[in-house]
Homo-oligomer: A and B are copies of this chain.
Amino acid sequence: MTETKRLKKNDGTKEAVSNGKASQIPVVHPRYSDLISRVKNFSIIESTLREGEQFANAFFDQETKIKIAKALDEFGVEYIEITSPAASEQSRLDCIAICNLGLKAKILTHVRCHMDDARIAVETGVDGLDVVIGTSSFLREFSHGKDMDYIIKQATEVIKFIQSKGLEVRFSSEDSFRSDLVDLLNLYKTVDKLGVNRVGIADTVGCADPRQVYELVRTLRGVVSCDIETHFHNDTGCAIANAYAALEAGATHIDTSVLGIGERNGITPLGGLVARMYTADREGVMAKYKLDKLRDVENLVAEAVQIQVPFNNYITGYCAFTHKAGIHAKAILNNPSTYEILDPHDFGMTRYVSIGHRLTGWNAVKNRAQQLDLALSDAEIKEVTQQIKQLADIKPLGVEEVDTLLRKFHHEKTSSEKAEDD
């Protein structure tokens, strides 16, 4: 993405996201791109193997870590961040194993600002270290004027050591949105002068809102010349919007995890961020990432941590492209962009019109069977549609019930075919 292209005028229209039909749909407020915006030029630091390991259910063994790292690399994330090798011997071995995979993605590990941690990390083969300074209480002391020299001295030693090994280094605070602004900027300015690759802002408790994020990142953008990484927890529902606001204000890197897993209710989810960025720059996002691999990555991680993909998950949740009877379903058939900003086909998904009721039709049922990867002939679809209609005439069926019915029907058909083949 060249600077010229980034500064190109947005003429207030965009191509409709529909089934290959490119109609002109007006977007809100024809806007010129801001000069500082990185909405069309950002990198993902995928932290499922670091932040995600702090999720309540997560216990990744090496085999699982490798599977997840490969899947993320296949999807196309620019960076994969993994747990500090100083955390445990197994973590160190896993870190080395992932570095040895030869992935396209750069491998980062997340370490405390201590020489002990840094020394272990630089020997694992990682491309860079994400250094984080202590805890929020550390910065709070700092904000009261204590230990300023000590922090600068420690940071300098760790940063120079990492640089001497030829590795990337990021320097981040914790709980940046509850830290003293002047102290924060002073610290970032100092490490920027030391030549770090990135400084990091972290909303560790999930308290920030998009306008605060925009203000802080924009201010920081004027203070440092290095890249800016941001990390947002989702306790109050702003993790995706905050990431977007950060990019608008000039941040360059966004931390994500698959399904957003992390401490408490997690951070910016990979899928949710992709949905947001796709809406802003469909072509750019499709060029960078293999969007049809998103569902596989999510299923892999969901299985590894024993959770259900939420019913309302971005893009891949079962109702993300579900339209119910009435005006929506009808309009969607005429022109999907009427009620869809995301084209399901771009994500390897298909549209679904609610079918668990007595007025359902076989075309809608066929649609659902395809979503479930169930190969059924039209005659078979018509047969199962009759079964659904009969059941739904007594009581409407939930999607799970219809799915179960379809799977059972498919299983019986497949079994009987197999029996015939034998």
- Measuring CB to CB, which residues of chain A are less than 8 angstroms from any residue of chain B? 25-29, 54-57, 59, 135-137, 140, 143, 176-181, 204-212, 214-216, 234-242, 244-245, 248, 259-261, 263-266, 269, 272-273, 275-276, 278-280, 305-308, 310-314, 317-324, 326-328, 331, 335, 338-342, 352, 354, 357, 396, 398-400
The reply to whether B56 and A354 contact each other, CB–CB distance below 8 Å, is: yes
Beyond A136-B338, A209-B241, A264-B339, 11 additional pairs, beta carbon < 8 A: A56-B322, A56-B399, A135-B327, A210-B244, A210-B245, A236-B279, A236-B314, A241-B242, A263-B324, A308-B310, A310-B310
A341: which of B207, B308, B319, B396 is its contact (CB, 8 Å)?
A: B207
Q: Is the CB of B235 within 8 A of A29?
A: no
Task: Give Cα distance in the complex from A211 to B32, angstroms.
Answer: 13
How many angstroms between the C-alpha atoms of A321 and B341 in the bound complex? 33
- A55: chain B residues at CB < 8 Å are 319, 324
Q: Evaluate contact between A320 and B240: CB separation under 8 angstroms.
A: no
- How many copies are assembled? 2
A28 touches B319 (CB 8 A): no
Q: How far is the CA of A55 from the CA of B324 in the complex (A)?
A: 7
CB–CB A241/B210 < 8 A: yes
- A319 in complex: contacting residue of B26, B59, B242, B264, CB < 8 Å: B264
* CB of A116 to closest CB in B, whole Å: 15
Chain B neighbourhood of A273, CB < 8 A: 237
Q: Is the CB of B216 within 8 A of A29?
A: yes
Known: A28-B177, A311-B307. A237 touches B328 (CB 8 A): no
Contacting pair A308 B306 (CB below 8 A): no
Closest B residue by C-beta to A260: B312
Residue ID in chain B nearest A30 by CB atoms: B181
Which B residue's beta carbon lies closest to that of A308? B308
Contacting pair B240 A236 (CB below 8 A): yes
Known A-B contacts A137-B338, A313-B265; A235 and B320 likewise in contact (beta carbons under 8 Å): yes
